[in-house]
Structure 1
Amino acid sequence: MISEVLTGAGLLGRGAKIILKRPKLFLLGALPAVITSVIFLILLIVLLFRVDEIVLWLSPFADGWDAGWAMTVRILMGVALIAGSILLMVISFSALTLALGAPLYDQISEAVDASEGDAPPPREEPLGTQIGRAVRQAIALILVSLVGAIVLFAIGLVPVVGNVVGAVLSALFGGWMLATELIGSACERRGIITLAGRRAAMRTARAKVFGLGVPTFLLLSVPLVAIVVFPIATAAGTLLARELLPAEEKLR
């Protein structure tokens, strides 16, 4: 399992090696991430400035409590709220960035396939069909992430261990959801067009998926770092899809 995790993490380095040899494609892939990074950075700043107000609004039940207990509960709520919001923002950022720059990220994925050899032929499909499916899948992933953020917010309220457990689960859940997005383009070229199909492939090598997804999730959680990381993560996602595909084929 450790070997698989390290292999998955190593895909980021392999992806960087491939994409940085194509600086023009790398820069084009960074452009959509610039736009969405600015949007989500503004949202994060607003949240940080208003977190006290939001927590007070969410916890009127603590108004009559002892001051020490009320402050403890509200601090836990504030930390859990920020952690859950970052989870939701990273997944939404990825989904929106991939949708906004779909043609560019498809080019990155195709370039990785070409560089590694045995690339599948381009998938013939109307653009409208592709866009419609991408939007539906992005909405589905964001909604699932919203549910996950709510659950992790509740876990974060548990005294002492809640924030630690919530942070670990957030990284694991966020990494899995992120990997689901990053392998999308390469999977579609291989005839796997549904989220269920992607998840079936991912379950054949969970440790490897977490090995790529978790560090990528953590890197994308850092404002503006995502601009550099995202094109590399897209390349790494294609490499992951290539490794998952033989196992997935056995399921079909």
Structure 2
Amino acid sequence: MGDLGVGFGYLMKGQRWVARHGRWFGFGLLPGLVTLLLYAAVLVGLSYGGDDLTTWVTPFADDWSSPWQGLFRGLLLVLLFALVLFLAVVAFTALTLLIGQPFYESLSEAVDRAEGGVVPESGLPLWRELWISARDSLRILVRVVLYGVLLFAAGFIPVVGQTVVPAIGFCVSGFFLTEELVAVALQRRRIDLKGRLTLLRGRRMLTLGFGVPLTLAFLIPVVAVFLMPGAVAGATLMARDLTEPETGPEPEPEPDAAGTVPAPDATLALGATVWPPAPGQEPQAPPRF
């Protein structure tokens, strides 16, 4: 299975983990519900004022004849909503994680504890963790805004703007959404934003396999609330494997000067006596057992 499938597998494992631990699922819903209410207010305001906003930013189209004026401003309004949704997916996660920092920290630690091994702790006070999370989320949001503006402009390109650009937008959102989620576990492992981005870029397809399906699901706000606890759990499972030292097979023994490859236990050292003797040495009596 490729990295895309493995990434999606982590997402599913996280959802199954919180399903088996209902208490953590319930705790994880609370921050998402608060964020959902805030977002609902913003989207309602945009729906009421969207027409006035597009008219204000396109005064040059006031004298256009019908139907071109309506088509142009209608397309602009659609692109505006698409831009808001594009930003909202990552911003929703960032704001939810910030509001629910103590909840999600505890959830991530519970996943680490249940899976065994050392449970990393940042050792920082809560206010310091909140400051780092807010600062890093703002940095990510700036990156997303820059990508969003570029993709918004590219959306006016015929055909490409309606096919390729949305696909790129989902990939960008998925990548940064994954970064926001794994940050909960990786911050406890003392990996900063630069290190997290480098880590995820090295496993780009794995990152997209986790983040793109979640981005598509997060387009439905209510679904985002219910998937958030499992997303944090799945991101923790992924962070564990990404930071776990790789243990490969032991290296093959190299042949000696005579071209002979010794067996793994061919040499037995007892004090100063070595048997069999190395090439060029005088043979000694074999050790007695």
* TM-score, L = length of structure 1: 0.91
Q: 1:219 aligns with which of 213, 217, 221?
A: 217
Kept after mapping to 2: 8 A contact 1:11/1:236: yes
- 1:51-70 superposed Cα distances (whole Å, 9 cap, x missing partner): 22221122112223343433
* Corresponding residue for residue 231 of structure 1: 229
| Local SS of the residue matching 2:120 | coil
Higher helix proportion = 1
Provide the C-alpha distance between the structure 1 equivalents of 2:105 and 2:222, rounded to a whole number of angstroms: 22
- 1:53-101 superposed Cα distances (whole Å, 9 cap, x missing partner): 2211221122233434333332321221111101111211111110111
* Corresponding residue for residue 102 of structure 1: 101
Identity score, percent: 34
Compare CA radii of gyration and give the structure with the larger one. 2
Provide the C-alpha distance between the structure 1 equivalents of 2:119 and 2:111, rounded to a whole number of angstroms: 11
Q: Does 1:33 align with 2:32?
A: yes
When structure 1 is superposed on structure 2, of 59-68 and 163-172 the one drifting more is: 59-68
| Local SS of the residue matching 1:159 | coil
* Count of paired positions: 246
* Corresponding residue for residue 145 of structure 2: 146
Q: Which runs of 4+ in 1 moved over 6 A?
A: none
Give the deviation of 1:146 after TM superposition: 2.0
| Local SS of the residue matching 1:238 | helix
1:156–1:48 Cα change, 3 Å: farther
Provide the C-alpha distance between the structure 2 equivalents of 1:44 and 1:107, rounded to a whole number of angstroms: 31
When structure 1 is superposed on structure 2, of 121-130 and 200-209 the one drifting more is: 121-130
1:57–1:132 Cα change, 3 Å: same
Kept after mapping to 1: 8 A contact 2:50/2:77: yes
Q: Which runs of 5+ in 1 are unaligned?
A: none
* Corresponding residue for residue 12 of structure 1: 11
Provide the C-alpha distance between the structure 1 equivalents of 2:188 and 2:65, rounded to a whole number of angstroms: 60
Provide the C-alpha distance between the structure 1 equivalents of 2:82 and 2:240, rounded to a whole number of angstroms: 32
Provide the C-alpha distance between the structure 2 equivalents of 1:106 and 1:230, rounded to a whole number of angstroms: 13
* Corresponding residue for residue 160 of structure 2: 161
Provide the C-alpha distance between the structure 2 equivalents of 1:198 and 1:105, rounded to a whole number of angstroms: 18
* TM-score, L = length of structure 2: 0.80
Q: 1:207 aligns with which of 161, 183, 205?
A: 205
Kept after mapping to 2: 8 A contact 1:79/1:163: no
Q: Which runs of 5+ in 2 are unaligned?
A: 247-289
Kept after mapping to 1: 8 A contact 2:186/2:196: yes
Kept after mapping to 2: 8 A contact 1:155/1:165: no
Give the deviation of 1:33 after TM superposition: 0.2
When structure 1 is superposed on structure 2, of 119-128 and 15-24 the one drifting more is: 119-128
Give the deviation of 1:143 after TM superposition: 2.0
| Local SS of the residue matching 1:49 | helix
Provide the C-alpha distance between the structure 2 equivalents of 1:104 and 1:41, rounded to a whole number of angstroms: 22
When structure 1 is superposed on structure 2, of 145-154 and 220-229 the one drifting more is: 145-154
Which amino acid is 1:200 matched to?
T
* Corresponding residue for residue 85 of structure 1: 84
Question: What RMSD in Å do the two structures reach over aligned CA positions?
Answer: 1.8
When structure 1 is superposed on structure 2, of 236-245 and 207-216 the one drifting more is: 236-245
Provide the C-alpha distance between the structure 1 equivalents of 2:103 and 2:25, rounded to a whole number of angstroms: 9
